[in-house]
Chains A and B, each alone.
Chain A
Amino acid sequence: MSMRDRVQAMFTTPVAEAHCDGPCGVYDPASARVTAEAVLSMTKKMLDLHVPEGSDDAAWASYLNTMSRFAAIKEEQAESTKHEILVLWTDYFKPDHLEAYPDLHDTFWTATKLCSKTKQNVDVEAANELMASVEKIHKMFWESKNRDVAWVPAVG
């Protein structure tokens, strides 16, 4: 740029952005799928864990320790799922997509609500509903990119 351009640019010229927007649009609902699966898995594990018989201190300590860990992981993974879903909703999907997917907002709202529900409760049904919501988002997402990507959960 010449000195003249530089001076002109400094005082009078507005900027026309020609930037790459952040990490160049790398989005993938797979991250939400993995964390939602973890929520489902932890919920099942919590319900499968049996209280120790009797009053053996070590057995109770182990039980409480395991149960707390399951709860903590469920909490963390549900929060992470919510974050991943919100990123897709607010950053990837655009007003234009509403034409093709009129239920887009409802789908995302339901999905994020289910993240909260699975966090607060030990509810297999809610965890399965969360998986179904993430699957719906997965389909919407790849369809909007004209790509045929199969829904393959890590846990069969």
Chain B
Amino acid sequence: MRQLREISLRALRKRRPWRVSGDSMVPDYLDGDLVLVDPASEISQGDAVVARHPFKNVEIIKYVAQIDDDDHVQLRSPQGDDSRQFGRVPRHTVRGRVTINVTAHRAGRNAVNR
């Protein structure tokens, strides 16, 4: 049901798709997974988000570890680089909250979609 709802929202352009590349978010998000992102949603600690890298021209998928008072977000991932290496990112460079891992949902994987 949830998948249907999300796909409908995608059709209504309320969700934007991203494809995961790499293994830093294993086990919740695997290389090649398709995720949907809500650009309008508030974000909170624990959410998976897509954000712009602070100094590379790429977009990254990470968890929100903390939102600081000065509107900067600390990102974490189980593997690989995160804010501990590349620093915090400004809140406005967060593209949105990941609402569903479509691939994991279809495959019946136990994806955590907070």
Task: Spell out A's residues near B (CB within 8 Å).
Answer: 1-2, 5, 8-9, 12-21, 24-25, 94-97
Contacts and interface: CB of A to CB of B under 8 A. Distances in A.
A5 B105 CA distance: 12
B20 to A, nearest CB: 5
A16 B61 contact: yes
A40 B113 CA distance: 57
Contacts of A94: 54-55, 85-87
Contacts of A20: 22-24, 79-81
A97 B22 CA distance: 27
Contacts of A24: 80-81
B81 A1 contact: no
Contact of B80 (A12, A13, A21, A95): A21
B34 interface: yes
Contacts of B79: 20
A16 B31 CA distance: 10
Contacts of A9: 19, 32, 34
Which among A12, A16, A19, A21 has the highest number of chain B CB atoms within 10 Å?
Answer: A16
Which of A2, A8, A9 gathers most chain B CB within 10 Å? Answer: A9
Interface string B79-106: 1110001111000000000000011001
B99 to A, nearest CB: 13
Contacts of A2: 103, 106
A91 to B, nearest CB: 10
Given A9-B34, A17-B60, A20-B22, 18 more contacts: A2-B103, A5-B32, A13-B34, A15-B18, A15-B19, A15-B59, A16-B21, A17-B58, A17-B59, A18-B24, A18-B77, A20-B79, A20-B81, A21-B86, A25-B85, A94-B54, A96-B88, A97-B87
Interface in B45-88: 50, 53-55, 58-62, 77, 79-81, 85-88
Contact of A16 (B18, B55, B88, B106): B18
